[in-house]
């Protein structure tokens, strides 16, 4: 196996693991607000007399907001995962097409495998995108 094949094999394995090995919880998450919003109207008219009186309200403000976990990804997360799968499928398909062309119909030209890569790239992208779309749970 040549050095280029080892590199491309590593790229293909890494792309596959990134696309299909990422748990949904590690995907894009909604930003959360740590401190509640306040306006002048909601502030108390007079400050507390002592620091002890302000401690319970400060304690409530400094607690992290509860994270809402959903077992299903949102539409934006799902679209991002499908797009990532399509990009990975493009590179995987281009590599597979070039490899198959060189194994099945080798040529003595200056760009062996180019036609296979040009055909395999879009085929791999569409295949990976459609499969990922259908395999992901619906939002």
Residue 90: is its pLDDT beyond 90? yes
- Phi/psi at 134 (nearest 5 deg)? -80, -25
Query: Mean pLDDT over residues 73-98, rounded?
Result: 93
Over the stretch 100-134, which tens digit does the pLDDT of each residue have? 999 998 888 888 899 999 999 999 999 999 999 99
DSSP letter for 112, please.
Answer: T
* 3-class SS shares of the chain: helix, strand, coil, % to 5: 65, 0, 35
């Amino acid at each position: 196996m040549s050095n280029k094949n080892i590199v491309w094999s590593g790229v293909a394995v890494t792309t596959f693991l990134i696309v299909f090995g990422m748990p949904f919880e590690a995907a894009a998450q909604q930003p959360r607000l740590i401190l509640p919003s306040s306006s002048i109207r909601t502030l108390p008219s007079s400050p507390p007399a002592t620091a002890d009186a302000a401690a319970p309200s400060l304690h409530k403000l400094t607690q992290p907001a509860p994270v809402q976990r959903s077992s299903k990804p949102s539409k934006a997360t799902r679209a991002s995962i499908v797009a990532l799968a399509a990009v990975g499928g493009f590179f995987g398909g281009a590599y597979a097409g070039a490899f198959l062309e060189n194994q099945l119909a080798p040529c003595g030209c200056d760009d062996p495998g180019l036609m296979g890569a040009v055909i395999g790239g879009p085929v791999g992208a569409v295949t990976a995108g459609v499969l990922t779309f259908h395999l992901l749970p619906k939002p």
